[in-house]
Amino acid sequence: APAWRLRPRADVSAVPSPVRVALLGCGTVGSAVARRLQDRQERYAELLGRSLELVGVAVRDRSLPREGVDPVLLTTDAEALVRQADVVVEVMGGIEPARSLIETALRGGAQVVTANKQLVAQQGEGLAAVAAEQGVGLDYEGAVMAAVPVLAVLRDSLAGDEVTAVRGVVNGSTNYVLDLVAREGVAFGEAVRQAGELGYLEADPTEDLEGLDAAAKAVILARTAFGAQVGLDEVDRVGITGLTDEDFKRAAQEGTVIKLVASARRAGCGAQVAVRPEALPAHDPLAAVRGGTNIVVIEAVSAGELRLQGAGAGGEETASAVLGDIVRAARRVR
């Protein structure tokens, strides 16, 4: 028989189709995600047994250059892009249009990944209900503590335990400011100015300085740890703007360190959530974290005390968490 007859017929159905990924937003985090999806193509294909294909990147303005991102992928039609994807990744920030686009994606049967902490804190429960109804996933590891995989630990690793409390330094911007004052002796107002100049503060600096960013993260931590439904307005919140040079002087004299502490404690079937500056003794694990580093201390009945620490901000670091969620989401795509 001719050789071609002996060859097995190519089974087209055996070649799994690529997982189509749509990216909404191409700022610091989005562009890092796009570049890594490109660089690590082979790695992800091996991991998943099928490729991850970035099908488009929704942006507001196509004319702005995005380093390392193929310009042909850029589109201003986010709605149309969402409808083409198996996995929709929202890294645009803000409440709208992010919320509507995520809802459209979930209702269309796509898996959704987001790093949008304010959106998840304020609207996460409603969106999670839509995801559950549709039988799809909604993951947001990147929304809390960037590269530090705290939500996975609380949700998965400790699922069989009982978490009783979570306490941490979860806002790197204020930690940077507090560090400048306490360690370098920079005046408080000047430290805020320097942090802003270096781009370490959110576009709206009150997000950081008034503890709103930390409160959003604390709400998400409480929900993940205890299943507690706590509104942002229920957080007992004090920012760092009320601190005076006098407070820092007193802390130095007492041998304590002022940190913006976020905490969540189980209380009945809910949780008590707080964000406030505290003067911590030097032996407290929270006292030692420097600059943009974040730390969280988890207490669980069987596990005891666990500490997770690492980069709490940054494009590449947040992309680490987002990419982890993308791989998780891609595994669910049939």
Tokens of 144: 């809390």
Tokens of 220: 């998400």
Residue 219 beta carbon to ligand HSE: minimum distance, rounded to whole angstroms: 14
- Interface characters, 311-330, with ligand HSE (x: CB under 6 A): -xx-----------------
Residue 202 beta carbon to ligand HSE: minimum distance, rounded to whole angstroms: 5
Give me Rg for the CA atoms of the chain. Answer: 22
Residue 44 beta carbon to ligand HSE: minimum distance, rounded to whole angstroms: 25
Interaction of residue 172 with ligand HSE, rule CB under 6 A: yes
Residue 28 beta carbon to ligand HSE: minimum distance, rounded to whole angstroms: 10
CA distances from 257 to 177, 186, 326 (A): 13, 15, 38
Residue 71 beta carbon to ligand HSE: minimum distance, rounded to whole angstroms: 28
Selected from 118, 171, 224, 309, the binder of ligand HSE by CB under 6 A is 171
What number of chain residues touch ligand HSE (CB under 6 A)?
A: 8
Question: Which CB sits closer to ligand HSE, 213 or 325?
Answer: 213
Residue 205 beta carbon to ligand HSE: minimum distance, rounded to whole angstroms: 9
Run of H or E residues at 318: helix 315-332
DSSP string of 99-144?
Answer: HHHHHHHHHTT-EEEE--HHHHHHHHHHHHHHHHHHT--EE-GGGS
Interaction of residue 141 with ligand HSE, rule CB under 6 A: no
Interaction of residue 213 with ligand HSE, rule CB under 6 A: yes
217 is catalytic: yes
From 72-80, 171-179, 232-240, 266-274, give the range in contact with ligand HSE by CB under 6 A. 171-179
Selected from 208, 210, 317, 325, the binder of ligand HSE by CB under 6 A is 208
CA distance 154 to 27: 28
CA distances from 288 to 168, 280, 320 (A): 11, 10, 24
Question: Which CB sits closer to ligand HSE, 30 or 172?
Answer: 172
Which positions from 258 through 317 interact with ligand HSE, judged by CB under 6 A? 312-313
Which positions from 95 through 134 interact with ligand HSE, judged by CB under 6 A? none
CA distance 236 to 29: 30
Question: Which CB sits closer to ligand HSE, 122 or 171?
Answer: 171
Work out the angle between the directed axes of helices 315-332 and 28-39 (0-180°, nearest 10): 60
Q: Side-chain half-sphere of 15: how many Cα atoms within 13 Å?
A: 5
The widest CA-to-CA distance across the chain, in whole angstroms, is 94
Q: Which amino acid is at 109?
A: G
Site residues (vs ligand HSE, CB under 6 A): 171-173, 202, 208, 213, 312-313
> Known catalytic residues?
217
